[in-house]
A = this chain, B = another copy of it.
């Protein structure tokens, strides 16, 4: 029987690719997404569709309300930055940073893993395009894994330590897309935009849209996802 693994699934292209990699490595995927006071539900629809297409064993959507604290464009009413330069995108900590978001998401993944007896957690975090996010760096993930192995029943009584897999950590967006296409990921089902319209069509101008489009250009294929107008 295949071993179970928990996959953090945001609805974006990175986590869809991480899910495909987990499945290729022989894990039975259990997907985990969050309803966390997002201003847009498009990414949850994309997560559900991606989980269906990948045939996951189960897809849990956990409710967490980060709005009780405030502090970021993705949960507050701060204006999402548009038309940033490449330098602006890659320097400093972005306004769209959500405090401790990955730490919270990984903690729920840990609870889920322990509940289903999984020793493996996959995340699509990536250090190349998101150098500004402290919780996307390899040293953070290593420290998280060390903590997790002290936190749980499995770490204390189990025979297999918990492993935190970040298969995209060193890949560029173009490399991620090429890997996903090789594994049959349908990127039309994914949604990366910080500011989609009511039909879930992407803006093509926010930082993640720009990184995504640059990635598809790098991979030499068109982005199959719906945009409000033809991307430049």
A64-B63, A147-B143 as given contacts; A104 in contact with B115, CB under 8 Å: no
Q: Which residue of B lies closest to A109 (CB)?
A: B100
A140-B147, A140-B150 as given contacts; A100 in contact with B110, CB under 8 Å: yes
Say which residue of B64, B69, B99, B114 sits within 8 Å of A100 (CB atoms).
B114
Q: Which residue of B lies closest to A6 (CB)?
A: B69
Q: Is the C-beta of A155 less than 8 angstroms from some C-beta in chain B?
A: yes
Task: State the majority secondary structure of interface residues on A.
Answer: helix
Task: Tell which of A64, A148, A151 has the most Cβ of chain B within 10 Å.
Answer: A151
A135-B152, A143-B147, A151-B140 as given contacts; A157 in contact with B111, CB under 8 Å: no
Would you give the shortest CB distance from A140 to chain B, in whole angstroms?
Answer: 4
Question: Residues of B contacting A106 with CB < 8 Å?
Answer: 107
Would you give the shortest CB distance from A43 to chain B, in whole angstroms?
Answer: 18
Q: Is the C-beta of A93 less than 8 angstroms from some C-beta in chain B?
A: yes
Contacts A93-B157, A140-B147 known; 12 new A-B pairs at CB < 8 A: A63-B64, A71-B114, A99-B112, A100-B110, A100-B111, A101-B111, A104-B104, A104-B110, A107-B107, A134-B150, A134-B151, A139-B150
Which residues in A have some Cβ–Cβ distance to B below 8 Å? 60-66, 68-71, 93, 97-104, 106-108, 110-112, 114-116, 134-135, 137, 139-140, 143-144, 146-148, 150-153, 155-157
Instruction: Show 20 residue pairs from A and B whose CB-CB distance is below 8 angstroms, ordered by the A residue.
Output: A61-B68, A63-B63, A63-B65, A69-B112, A71-B114, A71-B115, A99-B110, A99-B111, A99-B112, A100-B114, A100-B151, A103-B110, A104-B107, A104-B111, A134-B151, A134-B152, A135-B151, A143-B143, A143-B150, A146-B147
